[in-house]
């Protein structure tokens, strides 16, 4: 029940976030615009997931598009903030490893890809940590978003990397549902922090260079 309710709330909030961030798209900084595009992407994925769910169709094939698209958008967001040249080669190596995995093991396109999620989100967490340390000694922008990334992506790595192990334990459905609910709650907090970022810093019309 909690899992279903949170899914509804998160889906609605994802669309709301995409709309409110796009309202301040013009005149804002490049990082803001990239993150706004990411939110639009997430909203479209959420809408598509619900369309398939309502028709009782399998939507797992969307999962690779979700986590790879998320990785590209969030990496671009942090690259625009950190400006580290090594970030592009790292991103390309990760993408190449995913292509290799899907070519060698095409069945992973039809299920949750623990390796794919773990490697992409680990890289994003690294970027978020670097930005956090930079914000301690310099200009501090997008702190709520960065905190949300650190919280959700770190716990998500643990959740997905251990998913196969949890499944092998043959735990009761109630326990697995509770674990899913914990992940949903953390994602909900991530969404709220993104909303707080907009409300505190972007709800009024002003530019950020």
Q: What span, in angstroms and rounded, lies between the C-alpha atoms of 22 and 28? A: 10
Whether the CB-CB separation of 127 and 87 falls below 8 Å is answered with yes
Q: What span, in angstroms and rounded, lies between the C-alpha atoms of 125 and 103? A: 26
Is 200 a residue whose pLDDT tops 80?
Answer: yes
Position 72 in a domain: yes
- pLDDT value, residue 171: 56
User: Where is average pLDDT lowest: 29-38, 49-58, 61-70, 172-181?
Assistant: 172-181
More confident residue, 198 or 104: 198
- pLDDT value, residue 50: 82
Cβ-in-10-Å burial (0-12, 13-18, 19+) of 108 comes to middle
pLDDT category of residue 90 using cuts at 50, 70 and 90:
very high
Position 27 in a domain: yes
- pLDDT value, residue 179: 60
Give the mean pLDDT of 110-120. 83
Give the mean pLDDT of 22-50. 93
More confident residue, 55 or 35: 35
Residues of the chain with pLDDT > 90, as a percent, come to: 49
User: Could you report the per-residue pLDDT of 29-42, keeping only the tens digit for each?
Assistant: 999 999 999 999 99
pLDDT category of residue 104 using cuts at 50, 70 and 90:
confident
- pLDDT value, residue 42: 95
Ramachandran region of residue 205, left (φ > 0), alpha (ψ -120 to 50) or beta?
beta
The closest alpha carbon to 96, from 121, 125, 68, 76, belongs to: 68
Q: Which domain holds residue 32?
A: 2-201
pTM of the model as a whole: 0.88
Is 95 a residue whose pLDDT tops 70?
Answer: yes
The closest alpha carbon to 67, from 147, 124, 107, 126, belongs to: 124
Position 134 in a domain: yes
Position 173 in a domain: yes
- pLDDT value, residue 71: 96
Position 40 in a domain: yes
Position 206 in a domain: no
pLDDT category of residue 80 using cuts at 50, 70 and 90:
very high
* Domain tally, the chain: 1
More confident residue, 128 or 114: 128
User: Could you report the per-residue pLDDT of 136-167, keeping only the tens digit for each?
Assistant: 887 789 999 999 999 999 988 887 766 655 55
Position 107 in a domain: yes
């Amino acid at each position: 029940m909690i899992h279903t309710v949170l899914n509804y709330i998160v889906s609605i909030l994802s669309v709301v976030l995409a709309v409110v961030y796009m309202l301040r798209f013009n005149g804002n900084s490049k990082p803001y615009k990239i993150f706004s595009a990411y939110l639009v992407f997430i909203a479209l994925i959420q809408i598509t997931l619900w369309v398939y769910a309502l028709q009782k169709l399998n939507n797992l094939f969307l999962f690779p598009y979700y986590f790879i698209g998320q990785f590209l958008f969030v990496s671009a967001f942090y690259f625009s903030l950190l400006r580290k040249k090594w970030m592009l080669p790292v991103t390309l190596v990760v993408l190449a490893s995913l292509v290799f995995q899907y070519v060698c093991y095409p069945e992973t396109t039809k299920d949750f890809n623990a390796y794919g999620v773990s490697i992409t989100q680990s890289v994003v967490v690294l970027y978020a940590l670097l930005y956090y340390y930079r914000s301690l000694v310099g200009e501090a922008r997008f702190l709520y978003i960065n905190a949300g990334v650190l919280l959700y992506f770190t716990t998500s790595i643990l959740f997905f990397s251990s998913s196969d192990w949890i499944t092998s334990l043959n735990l009761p459905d109630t326990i697995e549902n509770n674990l899913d609910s914990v992940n949903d709650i953390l994602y909900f907090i991530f969404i709220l922090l993104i909303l707080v970022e907009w409300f505190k810093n972007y709800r009024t019309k002003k530019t950020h260079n």
